[in-house]
Every structure is written in structure tokens, then in C-alpha cells.
Structure 1
């Protein structure tokens, strides 16, 4: 019978060891799951922060792009206004010069003489 009792004691000892091992494994697993969750939370926070930063920069770039476009359109409008004024002035000068030439040509036709171009004494 000593053999039977030793086996029973041996089984009891193994079962205590098994229980202890399971408890330790459970503690380790819980600790690592908690650590894993902390890491995931940190990763999520950092990604959100980075995304917000990216969106802020993109918004700033979009505002700058819109401002630059508006400045471009203002410049184009100003250039067209100046060029339009210059074209109108040039056209007026051309009409004035053509009118003078026609008057001189009519004077030449009526008198038959070329007008003096130099006032020499």
C-alpha cells in the first residue's frame, strides 16, 4: 500500500504544481495583455495626434493656396486694367495722328504745296 499512497501523494503534489503553474501563467498573461493594451492606447493617441497635425498643415496649405490664387487673380485683373488703359490711350494717339495726317493731306490737296516741316530763319 505504500506504493498506492505515494502515487496519490505524487498526484496531489503535481496537482498543486499544476494549479500554481496555471495561476502564474494567468498572471503573466494578464500582465502582458494589460501592457499590450497600454501600447495600443499609446499608439492610437499618437496616430490621432499625428493625423490632427497633418490636417492642420493641410488646412494651412489650402488657405495659403486659396490666398495665392486670389492674389494671382487680383494681379491678372490689375494687369488687364492697366493694359486696357494703355491700349485705349495708344488707340487714341493713333486716331489723333491719323487725323493730323488727313488734315495735312487735305491742306496739301487744297493748296498744292507741301507744308514746311522746319522753321528756319
Structure 2
């Protein structure tokens, strides 16, 4: 029973509610995509941190060398320390270059993704704005059409009343002329005969 009522409610829902639902779904999808991109970028940053902290890049890149004949322990220690410092400098430069390249690539990807999403949002906004303007003009035209119909209705009604009034006045004028003609005919008869009809003073016929 409840499923039937729910189906009826869905079937009788207005088109406007469907449009609003689709708009809400679009906004939700944009938010989800933004969160996904943020999560991916955060994961990439963690990966970079792991690379920097890994033993592979943290250990010294020194090259062990067998002591040459006649080389003292002090000279050997100085040589190894020099090579160690040189390896650390090269290692730091390489890590910095890798980090900068990685950062640049990630920033470019972020910008590209967000520019794409921005274009999608602007496209959606422009499409909805055009639809809203079309609906507004349609409603305006419908209202103008309804207003024109109302005005035309009352114009026809006034014209019909004018026609009825003019017809009534015309009939009244015709009756007046007929009555006046009868009176004149009777007056001429009185002039000829000298007798005034008794019914002449009866105004029932007037």
C-alpha cells in the first residue's frame, strides 16, 4: 500500500521538482569530485614524503675505497670524509630537483583538473541560465497572451453592449416617428372634418 502511494507521489511530482533534483545531483557530483581530487593530491604528497624519508635517499652515497699502499689512516679518513660530503651535496641537489619536478607536475595536474571542473560548472550554469530565461520569456508571453485575451473579451463585450444599445435607440426612434406620424394624420383629419375624435385624448396608444 505504501509502495503504491509512493509511486503515485513520484508519478504526480512536478517537472520543476525533477529539475531541482537534477541540479542537486550535479552539485553533489561536483563536491564529490572535488573531494576525490583533494584526496588524491594528499596521497601524492604523502608519497613524496615517504620518498624523501626512505633509507634509499637518506643514506650516504659514499664509495668505499681500499687504502692505497703507504696511505696513512688519517689520510684515508680525510679522503672518505671528502667523498661523503660530495655525495651528500649531489644527493641533496638530486632530491631537490626531483621534488621540484614532482611539485610542478602535480600543480599542473591540479590546475588542469580544476580548470576542467570550472568549465563544466560554467557550462552548467550557462545552460541553466538560458533555460531560466526561456521559461521566463515563455511565462511572460503566456501572461501577455492571457492579458490580450482578457482585453479582447471585454472589448467584444463592450462592442456587443454598444450594438444592443444602438439597436434599442433605433427601435425607439422608429416607434416615436410612427406615433408622430399617426398624430399628424389625425390632426389633418380634424382639420378637414372639424370633428375631434374621442379617442384622440386617450393616451393608451401613445
Structure with higher RCO (Cα < 8 A, 6+ apart): 2
Give the greater-gyration-radius structure (CA). 2
Q: Deviating runs (4+, > 6 A) in structure 1?
A: none
For the residues of structure 2 that align with 1:53 and 1:11, how far apart are their CA atoms?
A: 62
Which deviates more from structure 2 when the two are superposed, residues 65-74 or residues 49-58?
Answer: 65-74
Which deviates more from structure 2 when the two are superposed, residues 103-112 or residues 34-43?
Answer: 103-112
For the residues of structure 2 that align with 1:115 and 1:22, how far apart are their CA atoms?
A: 126
Cα-Cα RMSD: 2.6
For the residues of structure 2 that align with 1:70 and 1:89, how far apart are their CA atoms?
A: 28
Give the length in aligned residue pairs.
Answer: 118
Task: Choose the corresponding residue for 1:15, options 93, 97, 109.
Answer: 97
Task: Choose the corresponding residue for 1:87, options 159, 169, 193.
Answer: 169
TM-score (norm 2): 0.48
For the residues of structure 1 that align with 2:91 and 2:190, how far apart are their CA atoms?
A: 145
Structure 2 residue runs without a partner (length 5+): 1-81
2:123 equivalent in structure 1: 41
For the residues of structure 2 that align with 1:67 and 1:113, how far apart are their CA atoms?
A: 65
Structure 1 residue runs without a partner (length 5+): none
Which deviates more from structure 2 when the two are superposed, residues 108-117 or residues 87-96?
Answer: 108-117
Per residue, is there more helix in 1 or in 2?
Answer: 1
TM-score (norm 1): 0.74
